[in-house]
Structure 1
Amino acid sequence: MTTLPGSLAVAVVQAAPIPLDFSAGIDKALRLARDAVEAGAKVVAFGETFLGGYPLWLDEAPGAALWDHPGTRALHAIMLEQAVVANDARLLPLQELADASGAIISIGAHERVRRSLVNNQLTFRPGLPVMDHRKLVPTHGERLIWARGDGSTLGVHQAEWGRLGTLICWEHWMPLARAAMHNLGEDVHIAAWPTVRESHQIASRHYAMEGRCFVLAAGLVQMKDDLLDGLERVGGDEAARELLEAIPAQVLNRGGSLIAAPDTRVLAQAGEGEETLLVELDLGEVSAGLANLDTDGHYARPDVFELTVDMRAKDGVSWTSP
């Protein structure tokens, strides 16, 4: 792809994760990200929890939410054992790819923080530490697996071409989270989803219009057999297998990823299978769109509405030496 002045080549990688087997998932992500970079992409976006796979049993397996369900307990233990951690050496190849290519790579993962799991969208930046965004509110049944994030991971990356930020899934229906991100002046926003169904497409395109930015809505393709294969890869567990086999449907996440312009135009949209969307963005559209709508500027009323964002990390315990 030939990049023109004022343009930015971006890619959304819509692919099937390798559930539960994090090391194999990182290897697959690296291959796909390298392909996108070699095709010219300077921003590469993967969907929510690509590393580890979306925990579909919480929505799809009958009884998964029952107290002390043995299958749910077994899967949670596997996730804790497999999940990435801060400064995880397994992630170093993704950072090295970002460093060598100058590209930004955003990918969702289950992260272990102390003894809990959080949903983190990791952004690998050339020459800089990884930027975290931990999901503020796990949605509905997700609260059975993930702890909440805090304001310390709300932020944007300042690239040479502009600013990039990310939110995860139903955070796009949190009006104050959107307002906070719009205040940070994103030019490109990554909307990470498990699958980009119609309501998710609407939310992503609305975000593009409201924030006057390009939106890369990245989803997954995931099948029931993927879950069973992932379980087999990590040694299996009979209770976990019984729970996954009870899922009635075969196709669980159907892709639907898209790239939207600041005026809501769909620049590219994926089908239900694995594919990579590659688009060259005209960044001039961001400034042009601000002429009639800037929700953080001339279309705001700071004399009427005021938002305070607490960016302190909330660890819950503070230790002091005697």
Structure 2
Amino acid sequence: MGDVFPTIKAAVVQAASILYDREKTLDKAVALIEEAAGQGAQLVAFSESFIPGYPYHLWLGAPVWYRDLFKEWFLNSVEIPSKTTDILCNVARTNNIDVVMGVSEREGNTCYNTLIFINRLGKLLGKHRKIMPTHAERAHWGLGNGSDIKTWDFDEYRLSGLLCWEHSMDLMRHAMIAQHPQIHVASWVGGGAMALWDDIFEMTSELCSRYHAHVGECFVLKADGTLDQAGYEKLCQTEYQKDKIKLGGGKSAIIAPGGKYLAEPLKDREGIIIADLDLNTIADWAHLHDAVGHYARPDLLSLLTNTGEYHVTRPMIERSNNYFSGVYSSNTNNLEKLTADIERLSTDFTNLQSTLQERLTVANQ
């Protein structure tokens, strides 16, 4: 009979945040999770920085203009863990649904563009921080690190997630695909609300998401945000902003392995789209290519990844008394091995000296 994989009913939420109100947006998220679960969804995905809302203002003026908006957004960003994440975990457990949520995470005085992963048991599995904020975003978000390059094992499937223009970073995508996720969450801002580059953004997000489904041979939940009237009015404080942003944005969709739509794009409005993900259909592409398997040439082309966690401070480690060791005394195994190697080399050198001396003696006779 062979292996039989499950079919997962997945939902993508396209909704406007209540800018920049963490508690009200959290209440809205809870209601949307409950609504998705009520329609039978086992997994639900949200857009980039849904809580407390994407910082659209950073594209709409100079820092001196958006200073107050930044402060409001910063103070409403989400600490992990916190009461906010506890509530999300509780609603996931109560409704028996896996949740992937985009938040602006705050740690100390720095925020990060983050996805959090919660299983249906209400456990916070972990998070992914965007490794490189895009363009003006670097004024608001710090950098993720190597520990963010990972996938997550849920009860019935393996899932990955990337944020927005990370999907244009081919090496990042390849590092994720190499971990063989069956479902991928592509979490985007509602870039179509940006009046000056709405067409370019929508084209890019669609191409990147569908290409990821094709090369990664996985299902892609493309979760976009959108901007409502209240958000528009909050951002448009002068005529200058009114020329730069508009209502709507968002083109969420659910994409099958290979790149075809399972659920057609939902454009410029709020809603929930749902589709059944038959994980067995991934095998239909196995004979065609596997970019990280039989259709790869690691002997010619390979990717080096640093999956270590970045720390601002590190403790000073006392060096070994052995000046020649070149290693730290805390690493006993390496020190013992190096000491043994030095002793072996010393013996070899002594033997070589003896041999040379004997040959010189013979040559001089």
User: Taking structure 2 as the reference length, what is the TM-score of the superposition?
Assistant: 0.78
* 1:235 corresponding residue in structure 2: none
Q: 1:181 to 1:72 in 2, by over 3 A?
A: same
* 1:298 corresponding residue in structure 2: 294
Work out whether 1:80 is the aligned partner of 2:85.
no
Q: 1:85 to 1:243 in 2, by over 3 A?
A: farther
Taking the TM superposition and a 5 Å limit, the aligned residue runs for 1:68-107 are: 69-107=63-101
Task: Give, as a single letter, the amino acid of the residue that structure 2 aligns with 1:318.
Answer: R
Per-residue displacement from partner, 1:141-162 (whole Å, max 9, x unpaired)? 1111111111112211112322
Task: Give, as a single letter, the amino acid of the residue that structure 1 aligns with 2:143.
Answer: R
SS, match of residue 161 in structure 2: strand
Q: Residues 218 and 258 of structure 1 are in contact (CA less than 8 Å); yes or no, is this contact kept in structure 2?
A: yes
Task: Give, as a single letter, the amino acid of the residue that structure 1 aligns with 2:95.
Answer: S
Q: Relative to structure 2, which stretch is displaced further, 153-162 or 246-255?
A: 246-255
Work out whether 1:255 is the aligned partner of 2:232.
no
Taking the TM superposition and a 5 Å limit, the aligned residue runs for 1:208-287 are: 208-223=213-228, 225-226=230-231, 228-229=233-234, 242=237, 246-249=241-244, 251-268=246-263, 269-287=265-283
Q: How many residues align?
A: 303
Q: Relative to structure 2, which stretch is displaced further, 242-251 or 267-276?
A: 242-251
Task: Give, as a single letter, the amino acid of the residue that structure 2 aligns with 1:98.
Answer: A
Supply the distance in 1 between the matched residues of 2:300 and 2:229 (Cα, whole angstroms): 50
Work out whether 1:168 is the aligned partner of 2:168.
no
Task: Give, as a single letter, the amino acid of the residue that structure 2 aligns with 1:75.
Answer: L
Per-residue displacement from partner, 1:272-321 (whole Å, max 9, x unpaired)? 11110011111111122122111110011111122222121112212469
Please report how far the alpha carbon of residue 80 of structure 1 lies from its aligned counterpart in structure 2 after TM superposition.
Answer: 2.1
Q: Relative to structure 2, which stretch is displaced further, 49-58 or 25-34?
A: 49-58
Q: 1:121 to 1:136 in 2, by over 3 A?
A: same
Per-residue displacement from partner, 1:117-142 (whole Å, max 9, x unpaired)? 11001111234324201001111111
Per-residue displacement from partner, 1:35-67 (whole Å, max 9, x unpaired)? 1011111110111111121111222x2xx23xx
5+ residue gaps, structure 1: 230-239
Q: CA RMSD in A?
A: 2.2
Percent identity between the two aligned chains: 30
Please report how far the alpha carbon of residue 198 of structure 1 lies from its aligned counterpart in structure 2 after TM superposition.
Answer: 2.2
Decide which structure has the larger Cα Rg and report it: 2
SS, match of residue 220 in structure 2: strand
Q: Residues 213 and 256 of structure 2 are in contact (CA less than 8 Å); yes or no, is this contact kept in structure 1?
A: yes
**Structure with more of its chain in helix, by fraction:** 2
Please report how far the alpha carbon of residue 28 of structure 1 lies from its aligned counterpart in structure 2 after TM superposition.
Answer: 0.3
Task: Give, as a single letter, the amino acid of the residue that structure 1 aligns with 2:286.
Answer: L
Q: Residues 125 and 131 of structure 1 are in contact (CA less than 8 Å); yes or no, is this contact kept in structure 2?
A: no
Task: Give, as a single letter, the amino acid of the residue that structure 1 aligns with 2:53.
Answer: G
User: Taking structure 1 as the reference length, what is the TM-score of the superposition?
Assistant: 0.88
Q: 1:72 to 1:244 in 2, by over 3 A?
A: farther
Q: 1:275 to 1:26 in 2, by over 3 A?
A: same
5+ residue gaps, structure 2: 192-201, 319-365
Supply the distance in 1 between the matched residues of 2:241 and 2:315 (Cα, whole angstroms): 45
Q: 1:210 to 1:31 in 2, by over 3 A?
A: same
* 1:289 corresponding residue in structure 2: 285
Work out whether 1:147 is the aligned partner of 2:142.
yes
Task: Give, as a single letter, the amino acid of the residue that structure 2 aligns with 1:307.
Answer: L
Q: Residues 36 and 44 of structure 2 are in contact (CA less than 8 Å); yes or no, is this contact kept in structure 1?
A: yes
Work out which structure has the larger RCO, using CA pairs closer than 8 Å and 6 or more positions apart in sequence.
Answer: 1
